[in-house]
Amino acid sequence: MTTKLATGLSSGKDSAAVATEAVLQAKKKLGENRVDLSIVYSSNLYDHSVVIDAVRKATNNAPLIGASTTGEFTEERIEKGSIAVGLLFSNGIKVFTAMAQGVKQDPETAIREVVANLPSNLDGYPHSTAILLIDGLSGAGEEATLLASYFLGRELKIVGGMAGDDFKMKKTFVFSNDKVYTNALSVCLLASKTPLFTSVKHGHIPLGRTLKATRTKGNVLYEINDRPAWELWKEETAEVARKRGIDVERIKTPADIAQFFTNYMLGLATEKEGQYKIRWPMGINEDGSLNFTCGITEGTIFRIMDGSNLEKQIGAAEKAVMIAKQSAENAGYSKFAGILVFDCAAKQLMLGDIFSKSVDRFKKVLPGVPLLGWETYGEIRLEPGQFSGFHNTSSVVLLLPKKDDTV
């Protein structure tokens, strides 16, 4: 098995020209190898239909998957308002893509539609990994991930993310081959001869007491401990926020709300003591309820998390890659073709001008390895046997071995 990932990144005003430049950069690095998969991450500044048409034209209509974003990066640089392209070649991976609409209203039907268009198994390719991309404003991140795991098979690994729109919170898109849809999900199934390796890590720590979600509906949290959600959230965070110069009573604008919730998110307890899955409140409704990027189950026990330690946020990126690298080395793989990173858009707000240090940590662990990453509205990583695969303010990594070192 030999695998190669090549990346390109470009920005400008003309959608077709920018997309073509990004894909040509990647093709130059890929050399004479064929393109088995194009991965495209594009800011909403561009016409996505024009973007994917340009990429497909330059890659002989290779299968394509992608999403709108809130930031893009490769091993070479970090951008906002750009187009990032990854081109994958592998003689040990077979690629299959599928897409379905209506994920917000009925994630189960959408997943069933996708599954019907994907193979169930392939002789000689025993390992399955799915890249799952979902409309970032659908609120169906957790539900769609669990349904994908159930219908595609328990031995499936899943990574992916929720599409973004540069924090406008108006409309996000996912791509599959020549299609661009909102209110949709897109899946790329990677059937491989040898395993691929995944990991996830965040940099939050618990703040204050244990709380209970006492009234919820879908992705909206109405009441905590039988009180309006935002009212109690302010009380629980007021003191620590004041020490950082934040008056919770003055948080009014969408920008201020987004900035506040990047540091004070919801943390679900997991089966492992002291470990939490992060949930990002996207916004506050007029009635004081909170919107999330996935469903919040009524009766959920949680703690508010503090993400203000910037070194922990930067270090989480390094730990994520180290975990995946260690898993690969334990299985006998020591050379890598590429790193796919699904990173939370909220980390941009937290880290600001030092966000590049977080990306540098990915490269520190695996220097010289091609890197394709984007900023999401929610990260997905589900390994076989797990019962929750949705994350926020986390770094999810998919590590691609370069060749089968075990042979």
Average pLDDT, whole number, for the chain?
92
3-state secondary structure 48-79: HHHHHHHHHHHCCCCCEEEEECCCEEECCCEE
Q: Which strands, in side-by-side order, build the sheet including 127-134?
A: 93-101, 184-192, 127-134, 157-162, 379-382, 390-391
Domain boundary among 307, 328, 351: 307
Six-digit token pair at 120?
């169930």
Give whole-number Cα distances, 216 to 209, 213, 329, 388, in Å: 20, 7, 43, 18
Share of the chain above pLDDT 90, in %: 72
Write out pLDDT tens, residues 102-120.
999 999 999 999 999 999 8
Write out pLDDT tens, residues 16-75.
999 999 999 999 999 999 999 999 999 999 999 999 999 999 999 999 999 999 999 999
Helix and strand numbers (H, E) in the chain are 9, 26
- Report the predicted TM-score, pTM, of the whole model to 2 decimal places: 0.87
Domain presence at residue 407: no
**Which one of 167-181, 197-211, 293-307 scores highest in mean pLDDT?**
167-181
Q: Ramachandran region of residue 102, left (φ > 0), alpha (ψ -120 to 50) or beta?
A: left
How many CB atoms are closer than 10 A to CB 209?
A: 9
Quote the pLDDT of residue 377.
94
In this prediction, residues 181-189 reach a mean pLDDT of: 98
Domain boundary among 277, 307, 337: 307
Domain hosting 274: range is 204-307
Domain presence at residue 8: yes
In this prediction, residues 80-105 reach a mean pLDDT of: 97
- Clarify whether residues 291 and 362 are in a common domain: no
Q: Which residues contact 170 (CB under 8 A, 6 or more apart)?
A: 137
- Clarify whether residues 150 and 62 are in a common domain: yes
- Clarify whether residues 339 and 214 are in a common domain: no
Q: State how many domains the chain has.
A: 2
Six-digit token pair at 85?
């392209």
Residue in 78, 11, 75, 40 with CA at minimum distance from that of residue 347: 78
Domain presence at residue 115: yes
pLDDT at 228 over 70: yes
Are 163 and 134 contacting, i.e. CB atoms less than 8 angstroms apart? yes
- Clarify whether residues 178 and 194 are in a common domain: yes
Write out pLDDT tens, residues 130-167.
999 999 999 898 899 989 998 988 689 999 999 999 98
Write out pLDDT tens, residues 315-336.
989 999 999 999 999 999 999 9
